[in-house]
Structure 1
């Protein structure tokens, strides 16, 4: 327990020092809540962050690195349950302290105070966020005790991550001009920092369960996750700091100095991770494999010393982060300039330049989630190809080219000019929809990522599940068998158009950044499933014969075209109080009809490409079948043909005798 104690003590000390330096606990001139609330709120948030790390990190480590048949698995879930319980209590305390700080009301046991607190938690967005966080934490606590199934724990981990979403939607991000970018960067920062810190903390608490030979194995798996977390935390931290600091000269402010301290702690942690990955884990593994009992013990001692130092720097980073949430930013949280156009009032963002055609290729609205997602998608795919080639296996070059092209197109649609204008113009939104659901999957599906993963990722033999095991389990699950069925995939592809645009889902994706991200994922998945059912290489439970694939393609695209024509001929605006109120001086109905024309026309090129691909695959399938029959005939000396001819001769002879 020495390591966790170091983490907690250093984190609290760093929080207090950073609050004192940055002025985060300075008495307020009006309605000061008192020292208990001023100092207690950041410390309570620190406890929330640390317990969230223990909850999420332990769950991720259990589903990724540990074996359910060993006691290490149960102990990790106990750590997750205990952390979730602390998270629940700390979230409730944070909600109470936030109420005191925001309202300036004195703590009391009276009915009036209870009514005010209840109103804050149920009607005010900030209070609702902390109430939701507390309830989700309580649910995760119960599930960590009740659920021990390896597969079901994935959903528990997802629910635990969801507990951080309300936290990402509040704080400094709520007032900045780059609201969506702030939510994304803060959310990524919270989740991956939790996985990083919580995973290491869980390994420390599992110390007695991991013997000399088992420890390097678990560490190697954690180290891969930690490296990804380091990259995401560093990039998202930079994005957060850039939004709040503004210019380089603001680094001299108290907020800027604290950011520098946090950055130095992060760089130190990166150095610790490099030492651990490049030297200690390898030496521990080699010593354990050689059966040298004394050397593994010495290497393990070196490792635990390094871990304690790493936890100390994590404590510094966590404490400074908690204090930064209460420190005034150089960039004002509330914009000082009143919005000049209805578009700025609706979106909270400054208007992009007038949408001339070339602007779609020069303007950018970066979404860190998809920048990182596409970057990792390209890296891991090429790493898998490289691993295959190292061991002498072949992988068609066209698959790599198509996969990388699809990822680059996805990165452009989610970060380029189309993303910059889709909040303001229905036509831009429809263009993004069509490319996500039609063009991107046509490039990604032939890349056969599941086949590559099954061949390139090493299989595990200790009962745990890594990337290969989880991917194959998902692909061969009953749920995947249902949604990958060609008929179901076609219904999802075409039916979701009507359901999305003629239901409250459309509004949700406009007004809520989480809804916007869901929209991208949904369009991408439904398009991928449909294209996979037609020309996919990866394994699926059932495929239609080639003639029926062409019929399915033509029927589905007819419904798709009918949707576009319905939009083109519509005389009423979809989301009239949004697209019709932007105040750009454009005719919103004409723009909507243009969007319908895009829905009708953009799908033609991918449809032709799919039809040609299905026809080519059909032809190649016939050629392979013919060659197979020829080889069989050569091996058997045309025995089947001779037997057939003999049967015909016997029938003819029987007829003559009759």
Structure 2
């Protein structure tokens, strides 16, 4: 893991020395660590009793597919987790850590991409094996049963769990094929999205998927899987990249170990936080209460947390004793690093084994869904919240862990950049800092507070959430100028790798970035997507699927940001239009929002009736009246941000005129008002020409 706070990382990352030979012998213990990690993982599964897992039916009958299936399934599941980790970790190292061009020849980058492709291929094959064994275990059917093939076909086509596993295998196979074909970091970035999508699907197959904490369980499991995968797979990829001939230059030369480890350790720190926080949240969901700690599931969870603490101690040892000394040319820090890395891989394998054992064990919380189910629970998967009152806009919370994590990270990173500028004596506006913090806090409340809770049962509350995301949050974020701050606060790299600053510049100056930042395109996305979203199946998708809900949040916040940045932003982007045209675009979108609101107010047709019409809500207005109220909110709330934008545009217009006047005054002082003199001379000549016979 090599936890690393960033202080030494900054100085190491700034070094531009070419790759040099590292003294010392090859780290054979790292090669031995991989099989040892797998053995330790399987031992943890064995001790947890996962090899004896069998399913019981509602009448008490036990379904057992035989010992071969019971023993193979935990093994294959453990290998699935490890192959997933290698794939995602190799992608992250290739994209953010390893140099891909001059002055390095990119050998480490290419090797990491090959590792990612091989890991994805193994992932695809192992998921297919897991699919077969999972169905045999669930159905209690032996693999040699003559009807097994037909039943398996029904499982992968009719059952959601089977379809999800098949989709994961297809995405992993596609990721492997593309990864072995791409050669550029941009191509690798697009390919990595396939792996992220597969991880998201993997997160939807965990425990508590059918509980009242469905979205929280999925989001926490996704963060847990992604953090652990980058952490484990990144360390394993380091061993693959730095294994081989130690040439001092030319074809096959490896990147500098000190710089690579420093960058990876900064990433590992974030992974440690993600894994720890998401693990605690998952444990709270599945345990239900502290008294459940005494159960076998609770004991396994405590063991996993203890192993995580051990990894934290080893990471601190890396930070304190190894990373800072890797700049030296002696062999001792290098050997110490690889020994600690090998120990980490073994402990990580044990953590993976305990994770598989946890997934194979029934949690204390009953997720079977027995008992009386209300109409709201049948439709939304959640109990109906209490009647909405003024006070409950503040007191009701429904945590979205992914968005909450992004909000916290946004605050920490932004304030860290401001602190970095202050340390070197640069000034950053306090008003911009306050604006960014306010925007992030509003975004946090909108996605995890009452707008999120009631937005699933009231169209009017959903419309409030939408308008705040699209029209209020972007104004504060744009006035915070995050891109400008990032370009000033981040250090550029000169060793051929791409860090956050390089990726930001590539995104801003790419054809796609310039296209979506164009004021006309941004206005069309901002206004047009409103109609497309609500009058197509996208609205239903955002209600029925957590992924669709996340897409809605990201899309409308991003569209609002692009539009606001085209009007009042200072961040780099497409050329901004003149101030009169900005006001014209603003009032055109305001009219479009007003038209949309009036259409909802006058409509007698319920949007997504299978959702809002079947909730059985005993309080509040009827579904159609609530939808009409939502139209009034879309019309009314949209006016206030528009007025604010118009005022800001007018103020910027006035200041621009003042700056232009001051510039002309300074120019006149420098050249003796040459421009006015030339203009008067021209008028004099014209007058003389007109009066001459």
Gaps of 5+ in 1: 288-292
Residue 255 of structure 2 corresponds to residue 219 of structure 1: no
Among 133, 139, 144, the residue aligned to 1:108? 144
Distance 1:24-1:415 versus aligned 2 partners, 3 A rule: farther
Partner of 2:129: 93
Distance in 1 (alpha carbons) for counterparts of 2:288 and 2:51: 20
Over the aligned positions, Cα root-mean-square deviation in angstroms equals 1.6
Residue 227 of structure 2 corresponds to residue 192 of structure 1: yes
Please say if residues 467 and 637 of structure 2, whose CA atoms lie closer than 8 Å, have aligned partners that are also in contact. yes
Residue 330 of structure 2 corresponds to residue 303 of structure 1: no
Query: Which has the larger displacement, 449-458 or 351-360?
Result: 351-360
Distance in 1 (alpha carbons) for counterparts of 2:648 and 2:267: 38
Distance in 1 (alpha carbons) for counterparts of 2:505 and 2:262: 22
1:22 CA drift (Å)? 4.4
Residue 265 of structure 2 corresponds to residue 236 of structure 1: no
Partner of 2:37: 10
1:449-460 alignment, distance < 5 Å: 449-460=482-493
1:456 CA drift (Å)? 0.4
Secondary structure of residue in 2 paired with 1:186: helix
1:14 CA drift (Å)? 3.3
Please say if residues 4 and 311 of structure 1, whose CA atoms lie closer than 8 Å, have aligned partners that are also in contact. no
1:636-647 alignment, distance < 5 Å: 636-647=671-682
Please say if residues 32 and 104 of structure 1, whose CA atoms lie closer than 8 Å, have aligned partners that are also in contact. yes
Partner of 1:634: 669
1:150 CA drift (Å)? 1.2
Distance in 1 (alpha carbons) for counterparts of 2:31 and 2:165: 26
1:19 CA drift (Å)? 3.9
1:63-462 alignment, distance < 5 Å: 63-69=95-101, 70-108=106-144, 110=146, 112-208=147-243, 214-285=256-327, 287=328, 293-294=329-330, 297-339=331-373, 341-462=374-495
1:7 CA drift (Å)? 3.6
Partner of 2:81: 49
Secondary structure of residue in 2 paired with 1:171: coil
Distance in 2 (alpha carbons) for counterparts of 1:87 and 1:413: 37
Q: Deviations over 1:489-530 (max 9, x none)?
A: 111111111111111011111111111111111111111111
Distance in 2 (alpha carbons) for counterparts of 1:53 and 1:247: 31
Please say if residues 40 and 346 of structure 2, whose CA atoms lie closer than 8 Å, have aligned partners that are also in contact. no
Distance in 1 (alpha carbons) for counterparts of 2:312 and 2:136: 38
Please say if residues 4 and 201 of structure 1, whose CA atoms lie closer than 8 Å, have aligned partners that are also in contact. no
Among 549, 574, 578, the residue aligned to 1:545? 578
Distance in 2 (alpha carbons) for counterparts of 1:499 and 1:462: 45
Please say if residues 314 and 340 of structure 2, whose CA atoms lie closer than 8 Å, have aligned partners that are also in contact. yes
Residue 602 of structure 2 corresponds to residue 569 of structure 1: yes
Where relative contact order (Cα < 8 A, 6+ residues apart) is larger, the structure is 2
1:541 CA drift (Å)? 1.8
Q: Deviations over 1:164-188 (max 9, x none)?
A: 1221111313232211111111111
Among 599, 612, 619, the residue aligned to 2:647? 612
Partner of 2:507: 474
- Structure 2 length-normalised TM: 0.91
Partner of 2:12: none
Distance in 2 (alpha carbons) for counterparts of 1:643 and 1:167: 73
Secondary structure of residue in 1 paired with 2:144: coil
1:640 CA drift (Å)? 2.2
1:414 CA drift (Å)? 0.6
Distance in 2 (alpha carbons) for counterparts of 1:579 and 1:271: 51
Partner of 1:490: 523
Query: Which has the larger displacement, 1-10 or 497-506?
Result: 1-10
Distance in 2 (alpha carbons) for counterparts of 1:310 and 1:35: 32
Please say if residues 561 and 600 of structure 1, whose CA atoms lie closer than 8 Å, have aligned partners that are also in contact. yes
Partner of 1:32: 64
1:265 CA drift (Å)? 0.8
Please say if residues 384 and 456 of structure 1, whose CA atoms lie closer than 8 Å, have aligned partners that are also in contact. yes
1:238 CA drift (Å)? 0.7
1:657 CA drift (Å)? 3.5
1:337 CA drift (Å)? 2.5
Please say if residues 519 and 577 of structure 2, whose CA atoms lie closer than 8 Å, have aligned partners that are also in contact. yes
Secondary structure of residue in 1 paired with 2:428: coil
Secondary structure of residue in 1 paired with 2:609: coil
Distance in 1 (alpha carbons) for counterparts of 2:118 and 2:54: 35
Structure with a larger share of its residues in helix: 1
Distance in 2 (alpha carbons) for counterparts of 1:525 and 1:23: 44
Q: Deviations over 1:76-116 (max 9, x none)?
A: 11111111111111111001101101111111384x32222
1:27 CA drift (Å)? 4.8
Residue 596 of structure 2 corresponds to residue 560 of structure 1: no
Residue 647 of structure 2 corresponds to residue 589 of structure 1: no
Gaps of 5+ in 2: 1-27, 56-60, 249-253
Distance in 2 (alpha carbons) for counterparts of 1:43 and 1:141: 22
Secondary structure of residue in 1 paired with 2:365: coil
Please say if residues 449 and 538 of structure 1, whose CA atoms lie closer than 8 Å, have aligned partners that are also in contact. yes
1:641 CA drift (Å)? 2.0
Please say if residues 24 and 328 of structure 1, whose CA atoms lie closer than 8 Å, have aligned partners that are also in contact. no
Secondary structure of residue in 2 paired with 1:151: helix
1:4 CA drift (Å)? 4.8
Distance in 2 (alpha carbons) for counterparts of 1:389 and 1:604: 38
Distance in 2 (alpha carbons) for counterparts of 1:397 and 1:206: 44
Partner of 1:59: 91
Distance in 2 (alpha carbons) for counterparts of 1:109 and 1:475: 58
Please say if residues 117 and 179 of structure 2, whose CA atoms lie closer than 8 Å, have aligned partners that are also in contact. yes
Secondary structure of residue in 2 paired with 1:208: coil
Partner of 1:290: none
Secondary structure of residue in 2 paired with 1:354: coil
